[in-house]
Structure 1
Amino acid sequence: MLNDAIAPGAQPAGATGAPTKDVTTASFRQDVIAESMNRPVLVDFWAPWCGPCKQLAPVLEKAVAAAGGKVALVKMNIDEHPSVAGQLGIQSIPAVIAFQRGQPVDGFMGAVPEAQIKTFIETLVGPVGPTPVEDVLGEAALALEDGDVAGASELYAAVLAEEPENIVALTGLAKIQLDLGELDQARGILAMVPEAKATDPAVASLTAAIALAEQAASLGDLSAFQRRIDADPADYRARFDLALGLNGLNKRDEAVDHLIEIVRRDGTWNEGAARKQLLTFFEAWGLMDKASIRGRRRLSTLVFA
């Protein structure tokens, strides 16, 4: 569970320090209007029969808790107290309306994700601290830096148990499997990415990296390509395939050098395949990767020389 992955002493997901207050028509002026003079108050309009309301409530409580007291949260049952919702023109629930300085200033409808609620709150009070999920993702990144692959995998899995469509956790876990050479597992994890997020840069980068790894795996022993190049430096096919294989061995600079050599000698070879492959490498590695930066610099030198 995610709460188990949170460091000791951290506030567990959903903890607000006190139960969310139920507001009535009679207490609305004091609990919402008056309180909103001190800080924004979010009013969660709900009903017991509303399924999405039940989905939203714990996510909303987590986001408000992460704001560290900068906003307040109250709930209003529209079945028991319909007049305020009617005055505000609320026709669908769940609906959350933010009150500030005695006036409704913003709102949203539906069971939206935690990240969207955090953004909503930040429009009212400015930046707030990381959510529990973001804390765990940060721990996973630190674990990877320390070489603790198993620990990072457990942390990503804990996030996915709570948020199955979390892109950072999905791509992080897929990258671990890719680095371990488990291409099928990496592809399986990426298949869990929702279609709406398939164009995320991290997803595109991993998809390209998996394709490159598959190419490299199909090449077998690379020494044959090197012997062909030694015999004929203009054997561009051998250079090209060797570059793919070297990338599979994580020898990125060497892979770049062979493709750059093709571009230098004959940039039109195979319809500019070497330049296209370089761009594929850069996408798979990430534009800020050291080998990507070096490769782009060398490529630019050739193109604009």
Structure 2
Amino acid sequence: MSGVVDLAAVKAAQEAKAKAEQARAEAARRGGTGAVSPADLVIDVDEAGFERDVLQRSAEVPVVIDFWAEWCQPCKQLSPVLERLAVEYDGRFLLAKIHVDANQLLMQQFGVQGIPAVFAVVAGQALPLFQGAAGEAQIRQTLDQLVQVAEERFGLTGLTVDPDAEPGGASQAPAQAPVGPYESLLNAAAEALDAGDFAGAVQAYKNVLADDPGHPEAKLGLAQAELLQRVRGLDPQRVRQEAAEKPADAQAQIAAADLDLVGGHVEDAFGRLIDAVRRTAGEDRDAVRLRLLELFEVVGAEDPRVAAARRALARALF
């Protein structure tokens, strides 16, 4: 789900939460409950309404996009499954259907090569999910991962659904949610990241974790900020040359793995450190293992590449 490492994810999460809270407050001011009808969980979207119906809504709920056409036979198999699951998931995601013949620009922007094609947008960030008429078990697994990522990384818990609500309320936000106790610190950390003040961001996240050691957003933010702080000032060519010349040098491999991850080469970073675990012993091996665990935090425990690397690490150690 993660794709390459998104080093702006924490800032995007804060912006998404702020927009969702503003929408909830506006709904409360109007005297509405913010609940939507089950009929509002599946919407037709075109180019004119894409920003409003998908980008803005993705600040409060994951939006799954189904690219389809009437002439597409696999679409006729997939679309009803997605529509049924949208209602079954009870507001944990919103299904946006885009007819490709009438929305060629959106098709090009998402890089759709064939249909059916399914994407998601979470806090304004696009994620490819799958292409073709996938089986329901695969679809459910993918949706479960999407919902988990949206909640853990962006705090998006979805829409409130009321079977008695009038259809047409999908543009309203859910009821007002309380602001978390660490919002000011997390906002300060996100602003520091945006300004390149990685030391300031590290300290802000540590302040949150000192009071709440398990805070998921602070843990992710700290891992990302520390990674950026480490690679600042490194000479990539020199680091990679030294790593190639000294395969058993723990620090050389650690520095190269950091660069690999920042560049989005997740599997290369993991593989490099697992190989280093096999080649080293004692304190050097411990240093490599600990750095690998830190990189797992950056990518996210739900990423399948992390699970595979954990198994490989266990084999290398034992």
Report the TM-score, using the length of structure 1 for normalisation: 0.44
Bigger relative contact order, structure 1 or 2 (CA pairs below 8 A, ≥6 apart): 2
